[in-house]
Structure formats: structure tokens, C-alpha cells
Structure 1
Amino acid sequence: MTEHQFLGERFCMAKKVHAAPGRPGPAAGKTGRRARVIMAASTAVVALTVVTATANSAVAQGGTAGSNAPKRIGTAPRAPAGATATGATASGTTLHLSVNLAPRDPQSLADFVTAVSTPGNSLYHHYLAKGQFASVFGPTQATITEVSQALKTAGLTPGKVSSDGLSIPVTATAAKASHAFDTGFRNIRLKDGTTDYLNTSAPALPGYVAASVTGIVGLSNFNAITSHHSAVRSASKPSAAAGRSSNTVAPHAYSPGLCSDITSPFPGSIDGTDYYSPGKLAGAYKMTSSATAGAGQTVAVFELENVDAASIAAYQSCVGTNTSVSNVFVDTTSGAGAPPTDGSVGVESALDIEDLIGLVPGASIIDYQGPDATSATDQNVIDVYQRMVTDDQAQVISTSWGECEGVESSATANAENTIFAEAATQGQSVVAASGDSGSSDCYYQNGSTAKAVDDPASQPYVTGVGGTTMTTSGSTTTQKTWNVNGGATGGGASSRWAPVVYQGGIAATTKRAVPDVSALADPYTGYPIYYQDDARSTNPSPDIIGGTSGAAPTWAAAIVQANAGTACQANGQVGFLNNALYKAARSSYPTNFWDVTSGNNSVYATGFTAAAGYDQVTGLGSPKETGLTTALCAAKGTAATGASTFHPLSSPKRLLDTRNGTGWGLSSIPSTKPLVAGGTAPVKVEGVGGIPSSGVTGVVLNLTVTGTTGAGSVIAWADGTRKPSTSNLNWTGASQTIAASATVKVAGDGVVDLYTNSATHLIADVQGYYTSGTTGSNYTALTPARLLDTRSKVGIPTNTKISNAVVSLKVRGHGGVPTGATSVVLNLTATQTVGGGYLEAYPEGATRPTASNVNWSATGTTIPNLVVVPIGSDGNVSLYVHGTSHVIADVSGYFSTSGSAFDTVTPLRLLDTRKTTPLGSGKTLALQISGADAIPTGVKAVVLTVTVTGTTGSGYLTAWADGGSRPTASNLNWVKGKTISNQVIVPVGSNGKVDFYTNSTTNVIADVAGYIG
């Protein structure tokens, strides 16, 4: 079996998906391009999770699963603003459609993309081979056959499925399509006089195949795709004189500068101030400048226009290069469409290709050309992208074309999303211009000044590239946001895509933020190129062009140079950029990025302002190639280790506190904003707070939420791996302060991710960590025993509440804890509280820490939390109560030189009685542990996060080894109506089971985090 076959089998296993508790229920005018003015096909935009967008989320009413009843997929487009209906579409009108299929397991696809693109993951840079996607992640042959047969039954003639298995082409008349998809068609006349057609309702398919279809593209033929280049013709930027000499450009030897033929029309203009030659541009971004830069690499450009070969040749002659430029025609033929001679058609392709030639002359460039943008349909756009990816010839894909999200249909967006995910599995990087209309990307499509971003720059598996103004004076080069004379860098928050994990802690937005990075875009300081303009010359003429269309291929060139370097040659090409890109920002921001801190992208309405660190104007900033190459070309991952030993910290260390910026965002740029709903906070574990810089396999965290805004939950998991559907901490309303302990697996990059589905401040304190060596302590599980109960004089000679005082708790020699124990595992409970407060546990004799273990915010609270605390030299631990409360302490185990090692596992839900029947009052439930989530037989204890929700009254839960007597200690305590979670380390019976008992009817959820063997 090959490595890729193994990876495919590993990631194509169906995974169980469970809800997490907590709700409760845990989860400038464009130049050279005619811009059609159309209103967004105001399709109700579906909020889609990254590459998990299947037809299930888009299907409307109708039918039950597996039935023949039709189900609508997506929504119908609306007529553009100002358009008029002109009657029904002729029944004989030919439609070119694609029925786009969902991957066989969207979550496995998402997991694999995360794994292969995250430094430190064991699968980092272990990409799929060319042509392997269909067999690994594409829909099964049974699905393809079933959908094809359904189309045939509906009277259509499906074509051959695409090589990646993701789309079935269909050519049909409007009449046949109307019958097959239960929709009508009508013609509309746009403001510019163009006549198009659109479907009058969302397409329908039989219920038994609808879930396999993400959308049907091609049912309407209008689109608003445009290029993102910008030209300047003014006194401050003279253009070539009309009637310029028709002589061709004289050949020159390679130089990173430019020949006089291209600079002479701009007398007085300075390289680095008024324009940037390839050499100056490369120098500014710390890129290599040589005739062989990018050798051995291939970069592809997306175009919807004819390329002028004469212009490319003139540029190559001027800079002395001989870069290979070839063409692949998709849905069109060579020479079809408008000729590139009018100063409009061919400008975009000239900018893209000539920019790449100047920066990576040693690379090969493939121009993938579709029909002219003025006539291209969404289907044509999808066809070009799909061909670029399935050909898999280029390591980097650059596109400077796009349309605002509000215009694009969900069917098209979903199809693109899967294609770009496919590119990521193969190690292809995709960069896209973020647009030239500032924060109002839809302005030229529908006249809207509302905030909007551009597709595909906003796609989760694409690196969106914004624009800057750059100028050099002496030895100083400065950058600011590009916003000049009606043209400005696109940026903002997506209206479609959910927050992405890789932007967690950096982009505090409730949706995917755009752009990711930026580069030179201002045409006043832009790119000198050759293109055809028959109003000025019969031969290619020089001009200075800008727009984010120039910034995108500049970043493409930076990736090509990284791929060509020795590090990437040894460790694998960069591939999907964003996971590693944002990690590079967190680890060493000034080394890897040129921060852009001034300017805004307000053009047609108030937009966003540049600031230190990430912003929705220029993203992370421009590249510093030397540092980025090191970050993006890290070594391939290696397999994770197994059993681990524990190392307690003498005092808990705070790793994250969003209230004051501790551990939040870029290390040098703290933020005091709460974590947004749907947001992720990556927390560095290795190398922080006394934890080793490598070799850490797991960490014990005390998680606290405060200032909650509503019910919610927190999920903790290893960075670079799939976000689990389990939860670690849950709460039920606003203005709460609640803590819970969590044992979390640590991936190779030493980072754990914390996600919340409700806006809140979040605090993470580390209590200890696991390593794969034998130098730490092992765990011994005990039958839980009560060491302290201030309500009944257990462990203390009084039964009064503790108020702002320290309780000394005897541990060694009590409850089964031997004299050789170094740390103890206690379940602490605060109950009958008065007002707000907190509890801290620490080794007796040590300085009281600043981190808390149990938190409450109201009178009458009962709340537990599991803690791991080192034992003082006198055999005791101290419990400090801030506020007033009764305190209960139950011992469940200890760490020492004897005992057993610990293995972390990927969190998995083992029990959820909401799917069956609540656990009744006074009832016991036995849960099978051995054999679940690869837990072997013979394990001694298991680490679980146990949650109760839907509580019907006050109560408690006790967990113990099946076959033994129920202990008197409790693990969870609650009052009626609360959702409470707590970590439990419970012995496992000889039959591989643990028991749960509740004295009050409630739903019980159990998620496994690891086991002790």
C-alpha cells in the first residue's frame, strides 16, 4: 500500500458527528472591462462551514430522507435591479449545466486539508498524488450512478463525470431542464440592454439523491465577474504618445531592471517611486532576483480574455527573459472572442503574466483561458477552475478575476469551495485578488455601498490578496493602504463563510475575514507592462498598471520562489497557504510580514482602517520572503507518540486571557476583545510558562469563561486537527463566570485551539502537561473518596461556610493517597454560595497563585471542577475561598513514580442520552469504554468530560468502575435548569465499563479525552 493509499483510507472512514451541549445542543472604476450592473441574485446566502457545505444545508422543503419526493436545492435568483422581464425563455434555448456532487465525506476532506497544510501535523505536506482525489474523496461510484440515473429518469442525458468525480455535465433545452428540475425560465433585459435568462425557482431533485448534490450551475447565464486591474492616464503619469513607433522592442540581456523602451515614455519617473521594476519589487519584498528564479516550478493564471502574445514577447525582450508561456483553452478555442488590441481586452492577462515573468523568469506559466468575461457564464468559470486543478500541472494558481459575494449564487460558491479544497489536497496554492472597490465590493455589480467582499478571495481555501501603495525614498521604502481616486483595496468580512480556524485570535470577526495578505496595487506606483492599445500604437505599448490584479501574481511569485528553494524542495511545496501563513504571523510576525498600519478602504461608504497587526484592509501585510520561506517550508510531519507521563506545575500559569490580551492574537499586538461567537483562539502551549518547547503530548487546562453574552460552550482540541463535536465547558446564559478542567491533546506545533459558539471572554490556565518520555509521573486511579465537606465537618472541625479564608486539606495518607504521591486529582465543588467568588487550589506552603479553579457569579450556585494540584511537602494542599461558600473535595486519583502512563485520544462522544432516554432519578447507566475510539482492553482509567443538561431539579452525578460499589463522592453537582460540565478521571471495570448514577432525572453526555493504561 502506498502512502497516499494509506492516507486515503485513513481520511475516508465515516466519522460520527454529534452536537455539543451548550445551547443546550452542541454546534475605482474598472478600466478595460465592461462591468455589467446587476443586482445580487439575492439568493438567501447559506452560512456554510469550511468544506462541509453539502446539499443538506441548502435543500429547502419537500420529502423525507430516502424518498422520491422532490427537494429544492439552493434558492432561485432574483432579477437584477433595473432589469425588466421580457417573457419566457424560448423552450429550445440550449443550457450547459453541471450537476455538482458533494465529496463522499466532507468532514474527512476538511480534516485532511487541515492536516496536510498545518506545520507540526503528522501529515503535513503529505499530499495526494495527481488524479487520486476521485478515489479518495470524490463521491462513490454508487452515488455517481444513482444521480446519473435520476437525471436520465427525468429525461436528461448526463455526460461523463469529471475526472475528480465532482460534476456531471448536462446539455439540455430549457424545456427539458424545466421539466427535470421543476423550474421555469424567463428572459430579462439588463440596464445596459443585454438580454439574459434565469430560472424562476430553485431546482428540485428526488429526495434520495438531493443530499448528494451541492448545486446545479448554469440554470441562469448572467454573471458579474470582472478583472481587478486599474490604469492611470494623467499628467502625473504620462502615457505613451499616440502613434508611437511601430518598431519592436530590441532584445536585452537579463536584468532585474527594465529596458529604456518601457521607461522612456515616462520622463522624470523614478523606479521605486513612480513605478516598480521587477528588481526593485523583488528587493522590497526580500525576494530573489535572477534569471533562474522559480526554476522547476509552474504557475497557472486564470483568464477570461485573449492574451496578446506580442505584448508578452515585447516584455520578455525588454527584461531579457525566455520564460515558457503556454495556453490551455477551456470552453473556447484559440482566437475566439474579442481581440486584445483595444486597450481593454488583454490588459489583465498581460499584467498577470508579465508580473510573473519579471519575478520568477525561471518558472513556466500556463494561461488557462475561458470565454470572454462579457459572455462567460458561471459554468464557464467553474470549468476553468476545475481544469486548473484536475490538470494538477501548476503548484501555484493565481486569479485576478472575481465578483462580489452577494451576486454569486450559492451553487457556484459551493462548487468553487470543493474545487479549491481539492487543490489543497494536492498541494496547490491558490491566490486571488481581493477587489478594487474598497469595502463595497458590490458597488459595480448592483450599485450597493454596503460592505461586501470579493469571491474567490473570500473562499476559505484561497489566499485573498489586498493592495498597497508603496514608494521608496533613498534607502527607505514605505507602504500604506491603496486608496486613490476611487480605487482601493478590497476587504471586509464574508457574508457567506463561517469564521476559519486559521484566523482565530488574529481576525476577530464573526465570518471569514478578507484579505489575508497584500502587496503593491496602486497604479500610481505600479507595474510597468506592455499591452495592445490600437488608439496609441499598432504594436504593444508600455504603461503602468495597478490594482489588486498586480498584488495577486506578486504573491503567487513569492510562493513559487519558496517552492523552488532548498527547504521546500526537501520538505514539500507550500500548498494551501493560510494555515502556515497565520502560524508564521503568530510565531514571528515582524520577521515574516511587512505590517501596513496606515490608510483605509473607504470609497463608497465607510470601510475599514489599517492598524498594527491583522486588519481587514491589508490583511497580515506584505511578504518578507526570507522569513516566510522558512515558515512555509517546514519539515514534513512525523507520527505522534503514544503513552505519556505527567508533569505538574508548581503553580498554574495563565496562557490566555482575552480581557487583557494575554496570549491573544499576534504576540506583540494584544487585544482586549472577547472571543466572537464561532471564533477560535489558538493557544501556544510548548515553550510557554515553564513548559518544554517540544515533546509535549497533552496539557491539563483550567478553562474559564466570564462576561458571557448567552448560552454557549467551549471546545478544546489539538491545533491542526479536526475540531471535535464534543465540548469541554458549557453555560446557560449571559453574565456568567464558569470554569472547567480539560485534558487536551497537543499536536506537533505545540498549540491547542479553543472554540466558542457564543461571544465571551475566555481564560486558560495550565495546571500541568504530559510528555512522551518517562521522566514524569504516572497515574493511579482511586475509588473516589470525600476528603472535605464543610457542610458536615468532614476534614474540618466546623460546618460553617468558608469566607475569604484558606482551608488546609490533608491529602497524603487519606482517601488512598500514599506518602509517595506527588500530585493529587481532586474534584472540588462550591455550593450554597453567597454572591460571586472563586476557589484556588495550590500546594501548601507555596505562594497562592493568581489563577482560579472554581468560579461562581451568583448566590445559590453549586458548581464543580476537577483539579490536578501538586502536594505540599507537609502532605497537604491549600484551598483558598474568595467570597463565601461551602466547599467539597473528593479525591479520585494521584500521580507518582508508580502507576500507569496516559494516552491522549481524539475527543469522541461516547454517550448522549438526548438521543435515547434521560437518565432517571436514582438510576445507573453502564457505559462501554474499551473498544471505543481505539481504546484498548485492560485500561485502568479513562478521562472523560461529563455534561448534564436538561436538568429537572437539583442533583448530583457519580462515576465509578463498573462492578464496584457506588462511592459516596460526586463528580457533578447542579441546581435545576443548569447545564454543567466537569472533567472526570474514573477507573474502568474489568469488563471495560464505567457506571454513571444520578439522583435527579437529567440528560448525560460523556466525551472521552484519553485513557490510563
Structure 2
Amino acid sequence: MSRLRTLTRVLVAVVLAVPLLGVTTTGAIAAPLLGGGFVDFGCAHARLHCLGKAIKSPDGPGPLLASMPVGYGPAEIQAAYGLAGRHGEGRTVAIVDAMDAPTAESDLATYRAARGLSPCTSQDGCFRKVNQHGDASPLPAPDFGWAEEISLDLDAVSATCPDCRILLVEADSPDTDPLMTAVDTAAATPGVVAISNSYGGAEDPTITAADIHLDHPGIAITASSGDAGYGVSWPASSPHVTAVGGTTLKKSAGTTRGWAETTWSGSGSGCSALEPKPEWQHDTACAKRTVADVAAVADPKTGLGVYDTYNSCGGGALCDALLALGLAQGADGWVQVGGTSLSSPVVASVYALAGNHVTGAAGPYAHPASLFDVTSGSNGKCGGSYLCTAGAGYDGPTGLGTPNGTGAF
């Protein structure tokens, strides 16, 4: 009984403090949500898992929630990567995830309205949600963690390419076969020019047989490089995808670009044990496939503000308190997020803005001058080599660099 009374007092105190969780700034970039570190989305996983992280609440193990937009939005993403004024011209970016996000479309509508973007709905044909076979129903079982991942992916596409159409393909489970079926479905959908995959898992002997599902000439397929620092995950290690690492992106007054990037310590990288080296990759310390190819913002501390309301507690002040304390699942409003789950849909959207028909990551390797080279930071220990340490030119954590307009894509 004493433990119950203690928990009740904590809940009451947090509920009374909930207004402090809201961010009321009206500036383009809200005050950063520093919280108490990062928290994984908690996606249900089997073979593969999502690669997103949210700023953690200082009050418990759950996410730090806000009542107003936080973090970076469309203006910052487009300014940082030289994308302002570019258009998707009706092209479609496909997002492949597992499980269902029941509030995906309504949450996307709230995000776009708050960020001053035009609507993107199923009614106007801009947004579609389908199962792994391309049908509107039946949809997979819902999952609170994957729903947060889906919100991140949809909002990242919206921020990077506001007039792109969006196709959300939901796999039945986070296993290889359902997810690869979803990729094939996305690739077969008219208008799709880029497919983002914000999930990964350890390499094993099954992956080379699954690679055929990532080989769709003329469609750019991106994959998150991982969020655990130095080390390789699949599908980022597939030679058919553009493996996307992560950076810390900050304003830098007085510089020509106005922004500065360093390696995010969580960015995955390294030398594949199984995948062959693509013909367009020429680094010398890895005889097989090297991860990553390019990078974009991934550090949750400099992350994207995302809107998500799918949770296990129904919304409201008490729900927010339960979420912060880790006593409920999901989110209830604005969260500041990152991980290479963010960088993958950003780069997929840059491919869509470029409008070129591509195969693998050959384009960036042919046009490295059209990227911002990231030359500092590390994601782990590898003897100090470029596989885990950023430097001039190619390196594992950030590849050839980050988008500088669309010239490399």
C-alpha cells in the first residue's frame, strides 16, 4: 500500500507540473528539449527494429512531451541542406515500416498545419496508407513504437520535400519477408521515385538472398545505418541501397553555409562481413561493402519536431504524466526525435527533389563536390581508421557527406 501511495503522489506532482512540459516559444526553432538523454521508440521487433530515438523526459524513462512544435522543422532542414525553393513535382516518396499507425493521417495533418505546409491527405491523393500487398485493408496490428517511427518518417518527408506525395506501406511484422514484400509493393507503385527504410538488424546468412528485394533500378532506396555507433546493420549494408549515416546539425553564425555538422556518435558504420563491394565504392580498408554512403541530421539533440498521438492512455494531462514516467506507451503531442531513422527519409526526399533515375548510391560517388563534407567526430573505436572516424573525403560514419542541394542525387 505504501508503494501505491508513493506512486500516486508522484503522479499528482507530475500532472500538476504538466504545463511545464509544453514549449510556448513562437520562434522558428523552439528551445531545444534537452531532457535526460534519449529513449528508444520501443518498436515491437523480431528480425529487424526501428532506429528512432526521442529526447527523454527528466521525470522518468519516457519521452519528453511538448504542447507546441519543437526542434527543427521544414525551414531549418531546407536551409541546412540547400533545398529551399525546390519542388517534388508530384513525385512520391514511399515509407516502409512495420505494424499500423492508426493516427498517421490525422497526426500528419496536424504537423503540416502547424508548420505552415499545405495539406497532404488521402482525399486529395497526396497521402496513401496501404498494407504490405498494396491494399487499403486489412492493415497490420497497431504498435505504439512503430507508430512513433511512422510519424517521424512522414514528418521528415514533409519537412524535406513539402510537395512530395507520400505512400506509407505497412508490413505485417518487423521480419525480413514482410518488410521486403512491402519494399516490392512500394517499388511497383506508379509515381514512387524513392523508398526509405528506417530499420535494421544484425547481418546474418539470410540477408544476401533478401537483397533482390532492394534491387529496383530507377528507384532510390535508402536505409538507416544504425543508432548504436560503430558496427554494421542490414539493410544498410546491401549494395543496392544508399546507406545513410547521421550527424549533429547546428546553426553556425558567421559561416558561409550558416550551419555546421559533425559525426553523431550513434551513427552506424563499418565493413560488412557478407555483402560484396559495389562497383562505385573504392575505399581501401574494406574489401566488402562499406557503410555509410552519405549522411544527414540524426542527433536527437538537434533533431526534428514530430507530432504523434497514438498511445495507450488516451491523451490528456494524466496520460502525459504516465508517458513521461514510462507507465504508458506511445506519445501524446510534440516530441523531438532523431536517430538514423531521421536521416534516411531526409535523404530519400532529396532523391525525390532531384528527380533522377538512380541505381544504388552511384550518384553521390560520382558527384562528391555536391555534398557538404563532414570532417570531425567519431562513432566508436576502430583503431582510428576512417571506418569510425570522420575526416576529409569519404569516411564510414558520414560517408561522402550531407546534401548540398540535389546535385549529388
Question: What TM-score do the two structures reach when normalised by structure 2?
Answer: 0.76
- What corresponds to 2:129 in structure 1? 327
Q: Report matched runs for 1:535-546 at 5 Å.
A: 537-538=315-316, 540-546=332-338
Which residue in the other structure is 1:350 paired with?
151
Superposed, 1:816-895 pairs within 5 Å as none
Structure 2 contact 246–263 (Cα < 8 Å) conserved: yes
Q: Alignment partner for residue 42 of structure 2, among 33, 43, 52? A: 33
Consecutive unaligned residues of structure 1, counting only runs of 5 or more, are 1-27, 37-222, 245-260, 264-274, 441-452, 564-572, 633-1013
More helix by share: 2
CA offsets, 1:569-604, max 9 Å, x none?
xxxx2322522221112xxx3xx1111111111189
Say which SS state the counterpart of residue 497 (structure 1) adopts.
coil
Report the Cα distance in structure 1 between the residues aligned to 2:365 and 2:131, rounded to whole angstroms.
35
Relative to structure 1, is the Cα distance of residues 364 and 35 closer, same or farther in structure 2, using a 3 angstrom cutoff?
A: closer
1:602 matches 2:380: yes
Is the 8 Å Cα contact of residues 38 and 54 (structure 2) preserved in structure 1? no
Q: State the partner residue of 1:414.
A: 209
Query: Superposition pairs for residues 103-114 of structure 1, below 5 Å?
Result: none
Whether 1:365 and 2:143 are equivalent positions in the alignment is: no
Structure 1 CA distance for aligned equivalents of residues 240 and 63 of structure 2? 40
Q: 1:345 to 1:418 in 2, by over 3 A?
A: closer
User: Residues 235 and 536 (structure 1 numbering): CA distance in 2 closer, same or farther, change over 3 Å?
Assistant: farther
Post-superposition Cα deviations, 1:875-920, rounded to whole Å, max 9, x if no partner, equal: xxxxxxxxxxxxxxxxxxxxxxxxxxxxxxxxxxxxxxxxxxxxxx
Mapped to 2, the partners of 1:234 and 1:621 lie a distance apart of 32
Q: Decide whether aligned partners of structure 1 residues 500 and 396 sit closer, same or farther in structure 2, where only a CA change above 3 A counts.
A: same
Equivalent residue runs for 1:172-321 within 5 Å = 223-234=46-57, 239-240=64-65, 261-263=68-70, 275-289=71-85, 293-307=87-101, 308=103, 309-319=105-115, 320-321=117-118
User: Residue 396 of structure 1: which of 170, 181, 194 is its match?
Assistant: 194
In structure 2, the residue matched to 1:436 is 227
CA distance in 1, matches of 2:140, 2:315: 23
Report the Cα offset of residue 360 of structure 1: 1.2
Partners of 2:39 and 2:63 within 8 A in 1: no
Q: CA deviation at 1:364?
A: 0.8
- 1: CA distance between counterparts of 2:43 and 2:63? 24
In structure 1, distance between residues paired with 2:334 and 2:106 = 12
Choose the corresponding residue for 1:547, options 332, 339, 359. Answer: 339
- Tell me by how many angstroms 1:512 deviates: 0.8
* Preserved contact between residue 312 and residue 353 of structure 1 (Cα < 8 Å): yes
Aligned to 2:263: 481
Partner residue in 2 for 1:456: 235
Provide the rounded CA distance (Å) in 1 between the counterparts of 2:191 and 2:332.
Answer: 30
The Cα shift of 1:502 comes to: 0.4
How far apart, CA to CA, are the structure 2 residues paired with 1:238 and 1:296? 35
Deviation at 1:548, TM superposition (A): 0.3
Q: Which amino acid aligns with 2:186?
A: M
Change in 2 beyond 3 A, CA 1:478/1:29: closer
Of structures 1 and 2, the larger Rg is shown by 1
Aligned partner of 2:365 among 550, 559, 582: 582
Q: SS of 1:509's equivalent?
A: coil
Check 1:34–1:299 CA distance in 2 against 1; reply closer, same or farther (3 A cut): closer
The Cα of 1:499 is off from its aligned counterpart by 2.2
Contact 1:35 1:224 in 2 (8 A): no
Mapped to 2, the partners of 1:34 and 1:558 lie a distance apart of 26
Looking at structure 1, the residues matched to 57 and 379 of structure 2 have their Cα atoms a distance apart, in angstroms, of 22
Q: Is the 8 A contact 1:310 1:540 kept in 2?
A: no
What amino acid is aligned across from residue 237 of structure 2 in structure 1?
S
Residue 503 of structure 1 deviates from its aligned partner by 0.9
> What is the alpha-carbon distance in structure 2 between the residues aligned to residue 477 and residue 277 of structure 1?
15
SS in 2 for 1:282: helix
By how many angstroms is 1:339 displaced? 4.9
Q: Counterpart of 2:350?
A: 558
Which residue is equivalent to 2:277?
Answer: 499
Q: 3-state DSSP class of the match of 1:276?
A: coil
Provide the aligned C-alpha RMSD in A.
2.8
Shift of 1:531: 0.7
State how many pairs are aligned: 341
Distance in 2 separating the partners of 1:383 and 1:626: 29
CA spacing shift, 1:557–1:391, aligned 2, 3 Å:
closer
> 1:467 is matched with which residue?
246
Secondary structure in 2 aligned to 1:262? coil
Matches within 5 A, 1:954-965: none
Secondary structure of 1:511 counterpart: coil
Q: Which amino acid aligns with 2:56?
A: R
Q: Letter of the aligned partner of 1:542 in structure 2?
A: W
* Structure 1: distance between partners of 2:269 and 2:374: 14
Structure 2 counterpart SS, 1:346: helix
Partners of 2:404 and 2:241 lie apart in 1 by: 20
Cα shift at 1:287: 0.7
Contact preservation (8 Å) 2:54, 2:63:
no
CA contact (8 A) 2:198 2:341 kept: yes
The verdict on how the C-alpha distance between 1:480 and 1:515 changes in structure 2, with shifts beyond 3 A counting, is same
Match of 2:142 in 1: 338
Secondary structure, in 3 states, of the residue corresponding to 1:619? coil
Structure 2 distance, partners of 1:435, 1:580, is 22
- Partner residue, 1:100: none
Q: Where does 1:351-750 land on structure 2 (aligned, <5 Å)? A: 351-373=152-174, 377-406=175-204, 409-410=205-206, 412-415=207-210, 417-421=211-215, 423-424=216-217, 427-440=218-231, 453-475=232-254, 476-483=258-265, 488-504=266-282, 506=283, 508-532=285-309, 533-534=311-312, 537-538=315-316, 540-563=332-355, 573-585=356-368, 589=369, 592-602=370-380, 608-625=388-405, 627-628=407-408, 632=409
SS state at 1:625 partner: coil
Task: In structure 2, list runs of 5 or more residues that go unmatched.
Answer: 1-36, 121-125, 317-330
Answer 1 or 2: which has greater strand percent.
Answer: 1
State the identity %. 27
1:249-299 Cα offsets, whole Å, 9 max, x none, are xxxxxxxxxxxx314xxxxxxxxxxx3221111111111247xx2122111
Q: Check whether the contact 1:437–1:603 (CA below 8 A) recurs between aligned residues.
A: no
Amino acid in the other structure paired with 1:321: S
1:34 Cα offset (Å): 4.9
| Range with greater deviation from structure 2 (299-308 or 281-290) | 281-290
**Which residue does the alignment assign to 2:33?**
none
Give SS of 1:326's match. Answer: strand
- Normalised TM-score (structure 1): 0.32
Higher relative contact order (CA 8 A, sep 6+): 2
What CA distance in whole angstroms lies between the structure 1 residues aligned with 2:156 and 2:376?
26
| Structure 2 letter corresponding to 1:419 | H
Say if 1:279 and 1:289, in contact at 8 Å, map to a contact too: no
Does the 8 Å contact 2:350/2:406 carry over to 1? no
Query: What is the CA-CA distance between 1:335 and the residue it aligns to?
Result: 4.8
State the Cα deviation string for residues 358-380 of structure 1 (Å, max 9, x = none). Answer: 2212111100111143xxx3321
Aligned to 1:271: none
CA drift of 1:509 comes to 1.6
1:502 partner SS: coil
Output the CA distance in 2 between the equivalents of 1:400 and 1:465: 10
Q: Which amino acid aligns with 1:413?
A: T
